[in-house]
């Protein structure tokens, strides 16, 4: 049995490591002022990026997560809960 063929589409070049968006959202990066204006998909991506940042901070920071990261996570979870309840 042969291996499946993988087709790569090159609509646009892959971003260089310097231009690739990070999968985490650090405390010094911009955060949306109005979470209600985000689509559900955008909100879920934001939640994922904050959770990844929180994991990183727990693993690398002896003092624990940055307060900004925990505050942002609370805001996003509150917005997700409000949308689920609607």
Model confidence over 46-61: pLDDT tens digits?
999 999 999 999 999 8
Distance, CA of 31 to CA of 14 (rounded, Å): 25
Q: Give the pLDDT mean for 23-46.
A: 96
The rounded mean pLDDT for the chain is 83
54 with 65: CB under 8 angstroms? yes
How does residue 22 score in pLDDT terms, banded at 50, 70 and 90? confident
Distance, CA of 35 to CA of 25 (rounded, Å): 15
Quote the distance between the C-alpha of residue 24 and its chain's center.
5
**Could you count the other beta carbons within 10 Å of the beta carbon of residue 41?**
8
């Amino acid at each position: 049995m042969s291996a499946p063929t993988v087709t790569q589409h090159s609509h646009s070049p892959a971003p260089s490591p310097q231009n690739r968006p990070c999968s985490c959202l650090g405390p010094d990066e911009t955060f949306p002022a109005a979470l209600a204006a985000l689509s559900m998909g955008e909100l879920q991506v934001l939640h994922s990026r904050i959770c990844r940042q929180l994991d990183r901070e727990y693993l690398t920071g002896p003092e624990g997560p940055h307060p900004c990261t925990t505050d942002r996570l609370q805001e996003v979870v509150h917005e997700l809960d409000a949308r689920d309840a609607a």
